[in-house]
A and B are shown apart, each in its own frame.
Chain A
Amino acid sequence: MRHYELMVILDPELEERTVAPSLETYLKIVKDSGGKVEKLDIWGRRRMTFEIGKKSEGIYAVVDMHCEPASVKELDRQLNLNEAVLRTKVVVLN
């Protein structure tokens, strides 16, 4: 088990209320594989310093979690399949 931090940038056209529940469904991957989610922090809509996919804003969310490397990899893969996800980043914390 390692300590990970995942940052996701979502499409700004999404309803901000729907973000938390939809991320929760993705985080099931972590929970089902024995990991645990410490914190789900939704920053909300934020101006990006440059455009990503013709969008100048994005909804930022940060997840703090403990899980196996394989499940983060799977989570990251599945997030990137979603069109509403503009970008993701996984960072290992010690």
Chain B
Amino acid sequence: MGARSNKTLKPKPKLPKGAALKKFKKRANPLKGVEYIDYKDVALLRRFISDKGKLRSARVTGVSVQQQRKIARAVKNAREMALLPYPNSAR
């Protein structure tokens, strides 16, 4: 018990701000060379959804906020036309 609480109370070594994040390298933008995000381009959109069919966050895929909005729209349009699946928790 004593040893355990000692461990949790140990002050963390001081790190410069953002040092913990430095491990993660920013991904190259996967949308290079795509000027219109088309809902018909299933192969492209597949890269921005998870196995369950959920949209991947921009933080994961490394696209800009503006692009993420367009991707979200395209994916939702594609879902309506049964080109992409709706998120499915069963699988």
Measuring CB to CB, which residues of chain A are less than 8 angstroms from any residue of chain B? 7, 9, 48-50, 52, 58, 60, 62, 87, 89, 91
Q: Which residues of the partner chain A approach B80 to less than 8 Å between Cβ atoms?
A: 87, 89
Q: Are B40 and A49 in contact (CB under 8 A)?
A: no
Cβ 8 A contact of A9, one of B39, B81, B84, B86:
B81
Q: A7-B40, A62-B40 are in contact. Are A89 and B86 (CB under 8 A)?
A: no
Q: Complex Cα distance A62/B41, Å?
A: 13
Q: How large is the interface on B (under 10, 10 to 19, 20 to 34, 35 or more residues)?
A: 10 to 19
Q: Are B77 and A48 in contact (CB under 8 A)?
A: no
Measuring CB to CB, which residues of chain B are less than 8 angstroms from any residue of chain A? 39-40, 77, 79-86
Q: Complex Cα distance A60/B85, Å?
A: 17
Q: Complex Cα distance A91/B83, Å?
A: 15
CB closest chain-A residue, reference B36: A93
Q: Are B85 and A89 in contact (CB under 8 A)?
A: no
Chain A's nearest CB lies how many Å from the CB of B51? 13
